[in-house]
Copies of this chain bind each other. A is one copy, B any other.
Amino acid sequence: MTTEQRSAAGGRVPFRAPEPRVPDTVSDVLADACRAAVTGVNRAWDTWDRAGLVQTVRTGADGTPTYRIDEIVEDAIAATAAAHGVNLLSEELGLVDRGSGVTMVVDPLDGSANAAAGVPLSCFSGALYVDGELAEGLICWLEQGHCVAARAGEPVPYRTSGATALTGAAVSMLRPKRHAGGDSTDAWLRVAGRAERVRILSSSCLESLLVAEGSIDAFADPGSRTHRLVDLAAAALIVPAAGGAVVDVHGSPLELDTDLTRRWSGVVAATPQLAEELVEAIASSPR
């Protein structure tokens, strides 16, 4: 909806985020950042109506508009990163380099359009890189307080569905759209035509969490190069730890890069086989 239409309603988001259930295994810095995200989003919902939450306050480091709700949540997280003395790479601020060996890569409020409107599907997503290597990931579904976490090389208590075939799978996707490189509608329809269930939840991190826990079989950007590192970094550790795979449709490696205008078309799947089949379905020439 347009801001103009929205302000006619002028309503407040009717729920708050509970205390997150952060697993004991999570490092203090990531756990504190997650709790800061919860405090921040609740403060935003308490202070502003929907029209105020989606006001654009500036352009973020990723090149997209920063909503007021994004800024409030990110500010809370940035204070946590400062207190812990770690570098921060975040969607709106970009890189805050403190010369630490630890870099926290966060999407402060994934699904911020959901969170601003009152669609209860938004996430905090954070990853720790130590000396450039992905060491830890945490995704928290904010409206529920439900978290999944992983540390490099350690086992996790959740598993993907194990699905290996697109036919019959439950797949979430970004919406079909025109984009700089073309139009993802044909690819979207090819995937939807073979999947048993299709959803658009508008929160890539929540959709990755659902793949990790086996609730859906895959999530994909059907080629629109919409994902930034912050959307996929935590999932890139969490989903493989559960038996799945995170790849890019166009074959780009998902690597630590402080340029947040760099984009990927992420495919997050229950198994490497399913990820490969999705890449093939998305990348094949339009019929």
What is the interface of chain A, defined by CB distance below 8 A to chain B? 1-2, 5-6, 8-9, 11, 13-15, 50, 113, 117-120, 141, 143-144, 146, 158-165, 168-170, 175-176, 185, 189, 192, 196-202, 210, 213-217, 270
Partner of A159, one of B11, B175, B216: B11
Chain A to chain B contacts (Cβ below 8 Å), 13 pairs:
A1-B196, A5-B162, A5-B168, A5-B217, A8-B163, A9-B159, A9-B161, A11-B158, A11-B214, A14-B213, A119-B215, A175-B197, A175-B199
CB <8 Å contact, A161 and B8 = yes
CB <8 Å contact, B9 and A162 = yes
Given contacts A1-B168, A1-B217, 15 further A-B contacts (CB under 8 A): A1-B163, A1-B196, A5-B162, A5-B164, A5-B165, A8-B161, A9-B163, A9-B214, A11-B158, A11-B214, A13-B215, A14-B213, A119-B215, A175-B197, A199-B201
CB <8 Å contact, A202 and B199 = yes
Alpha-carbon separation in the docked complex, A229 to B50 (Å): 32
Which residues on the B side are within 8 Å of A14 (C-beta)? 146, 158, 213
CB <8 Å contact, A161 and B6 = yes
CB <8 Å contact, A210 and B11 = no
Which residues on the B side are within 8 Å of A169 (C-beta)? 1, 5
CB <8 Å contact, B113 and A197 = yes
A198 and B200 in contact, given A162-B5, A215-B117, A217-B1 (Cβ under 8 angstroms): yes
Alpha-carbon separation in the docked complex, A215 to B1 (Å): 10
Which residues on the B side are within 8 Å of A185 (C-beta)? 189
Which residues on the B side are within 8 Å of A1 (C-beta)? 161, 163, 168-170, 196-197, 216-217
